[in-house]
Amino acid sequence: MYGNEGGVVAFLKIDHELTEPTGPLEFDSDRLANLVGDLRLFVGGEVIYRDRDFPLAELAAQLESWTERVQVANESFAFGPLLPGLPVLFRILHGQGGWSVTSVQQELPSAVVYDLAHVLEEVRSFICRLEKEVDERHGFSVLGLRR
């Protein structure tokens, strides 16, 4: 999905590689915590966040919920560890001129700004790709999982 950085088109991509679960998948809470993989966030071709053991199902569930809220309230998104006191890992921020994606792994914030339609398109694409892969490998849906 494309944004604009000083007149230059820059893409947004949420890429993942699902790995073997880190534990049981019996309950929703297990599935949220144990469906992990390599997550990469790209802004304009640059990887701004990467984690090789990321809770992908948890991210998909939170993003799905956010896509419903954002269209009503222009609410920003923040994803961080479930343990209190740890920093937010990355954000999708609403600001002047549009939406930006930032992470704790960036040295400097990106100047790339996206319109909401492009952000939602990439978020939904990520959720759909993960949903299909989890269904094929494990036989259940990541959508609707709740703690």
CA dist., res. 141 & res. 143, Å (int): 5
Residue type, 89: L
Taking only the tens place, the pLDDT of each residue in 44-65 is 888 999 999 999 999 999 999 9
Q: How many Cβ atoms are within 10 Å of 20's Cβ, its own excluded?
A: 9
Taking only the tens place, the pLDDT of each residue in 111-143 is 788 999 999 999 999 999 999 999 999 999 988
CA dist., res. 118 & res. 55, Å (int): 24
CA dist., res. 54 & res. 33, Å (int): 9
CA dist., res. 32 & res. 142, Å (int): 8
Q: In Å, what is the CA distance from 11 to each residue of 22, 94, 130, 139?
A: 31, 17, 20, 32
Residues paired with residue 95 on neighbouring β-strands, in sequence order: 98
pLDDT the model gives residue 21: 94
Q: Which of 50, 43, 44, 36 is nearest to 105 (CA)?
A: 50
Taking only the tens place, the pLDDT of each residue in 7-19 is 445 678 999 999 9
Domain map (residue ranges) of the chain: 2-138
Q: What is the pTM of this model?
A: 0.88
Residue 147 — pLDDT band, cuts 50, 70, 90? Answer: low
Q: In Å, what is the CA distance from 70 to each residue of 73, 92, 105, 121, 137?
A: 5, 11, 25, 13, 31
